[in-house]
Amino acid sequence: MTDRYCVFGHPIGHSKSPAIHAAFAAETGQQMEYVAIEAPLDDFAGAWRAFVSKGGRGANVTVPFKQDAWQLCDQLSDQARRAGAVNTLVLHEDGTTWGDTTDGVGLVADLRRNDVMLEAARILVLGAGGAVRGVLEPLLAEKPRQIKVVNRTAEKAIELAQDFAALGAIEGAGLDGIDGQYDLVINGTSASLAGDLPPLPDSLFADGGVAYDMMYGAEPTVFLAWAQRQGARGIDGLGMLVGQAAASFELWRGVRPAVDGVLDELRSQLQ
């Protein structure tokens, strides 16, 4: 029987994951099926169990179920345990469920692909929600000079930074705590989806600075358009999406697919 995988979300009809994983399977010669499933908001665990009962071997998890997935796992990777969220579920042969988060791996891989230097960099991260929590550990592993997490609610950013303080130089603050210039500014908020821009100083970017938005679209997001007007180089989150998918695929199938061809195809479809 063909191994079955899926992505859970609510809503999920917009997901590009089935197309991405179909391309990965064709590239690597893997026999597998991958579909999108809209899980009920009040019973994610039931949706996972139902999928497993029909031959499911693993899943990706997107909004709003990453914390629900974390809670149902029998085992967690160290990274997922610290992040408090899971975007990849793996069913082991003994029937137990293992969870990991590959969002940060996908982000760092995309930054490297775009020749963004992280070691000794001064990094500003906007937002303190689950999207940011899932990427801080891989970012800190690159040994930046500093990561500052800022959020409209300062206490949330401060608490988040404290959770990761043992891993490197990180601090949290409110939006009024932005000081100096940064080599890399990452927008981890959903403001771009609503066409909003947090109040940011015009002098935010160091020379050669980079702006990265976890969101993506056919046109630059509001944040990227603003950053480019300030002289920064802008990168959207499409490569992060494909990168996290490749890391999940490797966890399931034991082979890491190449991402460039899939990324180019998705980009051409957007445009």
Binding-site residues for shikimate sit at 15-17, 62, 87, 103, 216, 244
Instruction: Write the DSSP symbol of residue 11.
Output: S
**Pair 205, 227: CB distance under 8 Å:** yes
143 is catalytic: no
Known binding-site residue numbers for NADP(+)? 78, 127-131, 151-156, 214, 237
Determine which one of 54, 66, 143, 148 is catalytic. 66
Contact at 8 Å (CB) between 98 and 89?
yes
Nearest to 169 by CA among 195, 139, 199: 139
Strands (E) in the chain, as ranges, are: 3-9, 32-38, 56-61, 75-76, 88-91, 97-100, 122-126, 146-151, 170-174, 182-187, 205-213, 233-235
The structure tokens 């180089």 sit at 233
Residues placed in the known binding site? 15-17, 62, 78, 87, 103, 127-131, 151-156, 214, 216, 237, 244
Report d(CA 235, CA 241) in Å as an integer. 13
Q: In what order do the strands lie in the sheet with 56-61?
A: 32-38, 3-9, 56-61, 88-91, 97-100, 75-76
Q: What sign for the dihedral angle of Cα 119, 122, 124, 129?
A: positive
Active site residues: 66
